[in-house]
Amino acid sequence: MKKVMILVSFSLSGCIGDDILSDRIEAQLRLLNPIDTLALGDSYQFELAYFNMTGVEENLQEMTWSSSATEIISIDQQGIALARREGRSILTVAGTTIDGSMVATEWELVVGKSTILSGSARKGKLTSTSSYLLTGDFQLSESTVGVALAFSDNYSASSALPGLYLYLSNNPNSIDSAFEIGKVEIFEGMHHYEIKEVKINDYAYLIYYCKPFQVKVGEGTFDN
C-alpha cells in the first residue's frame, strides 16, 4: 500500500504546471482571408470571424462594412470589395456582439494591376510555460488538404510527460473549442503534420497540453 501511494504521488507531479491560468483573453474580430492588392476592376469577398474573451467563435448581431475612399474601393454590406481605380483605401468592419459590446477592425487595401494574396505561411516560436523543456521554431502553411505544420531542426520537447498532446487554439490558456492535432510522439528535430479542413488563419496559438492531468505545458505564438 505504501508503494502504491508513492507511485501515485509521483505520477500526479509529472504534469503539474507552474501557474493557474485565467481563460479570459482579449476578444478579436479577425480577417480570415487577407489580400495585399486587389486588381483594378476585380471584386473580392472578405471573410471575418469574431472570437470572444474565451477564444470561442460567436456570431455578431450585425456588421457594418465601410471604405475610407469609395472612389478607389467600394465595399457592400456582405463584405464584397470592388476595385474602382488604382490607389489605396482603409477598409473597416464594425459589429455588435451578443452582449451589446462594439468590436471593430481595419486594414489597408491597395488597388493595382493584379491581385496579390497575403503571405501563405505563418511563422512562430515555441515557449515552455512550465518546468518542462519546449523550444523551437515552426511554420504553418497552406496545403492541398488544409494546412501543414512544420517544425525546424531546433525543436525540442520533454519526453518525460505522459500523454502530451498538441492543439491549435484561439485561447492560449484553454483547449476548449481547440482543434486537437494529436499525441506528441516526436521530441527532437524536424517533423511536420498535415492537418485537414483547417484554414491558415483559423487559429492563433499552438498549445502543448498534458491531457491525463489537464495541464498546459507550453505554447506557440505566431510572428505574423
CA-nearest of 169, 139, 172, 173 to 154 is 139
User: Mean of the per-residue pLDDT values for the chain?
Assistant: 90
- In tens, the pLDDT along 47-68 reads 999 999 999 999 998 899 999 9
- In tens, the pLDDT along 69-95 reads 999 999 999 999 999 999 999 999 999
What's the rounded Cα separation, in Å, for the pair 83 and 106? 17
**Where are the domains positioned within the chain?**
28-117, 119-222
Cα→Cα distances 71→35, 77, 82, 98, 173, Å: 19, 17, 10, 34, 44
What's the rounded Cα separation, in Å, for the pair 203 and 193? 15
User: 28-117 — its CATH code?
Assistant: 2.60.40.1080
SS3 34: coil
- In tens, the pLDDT along 94-137 reads 999 998 999 999 999 999 999 998 877 999 999 999 999 999 99
| Model pLDDT, residue 17 | 46
CA-nearest of 92, 102, 33, 26 to 62 is 102
What's the rounded Cα separation, in Å, for the pair 209 and 36? 35
Q: Please state, for a pLDDT cut of 90, what percent of the chain lies above it.
A: 80
- Confidence check: pLDDT of 160 > 70: yes
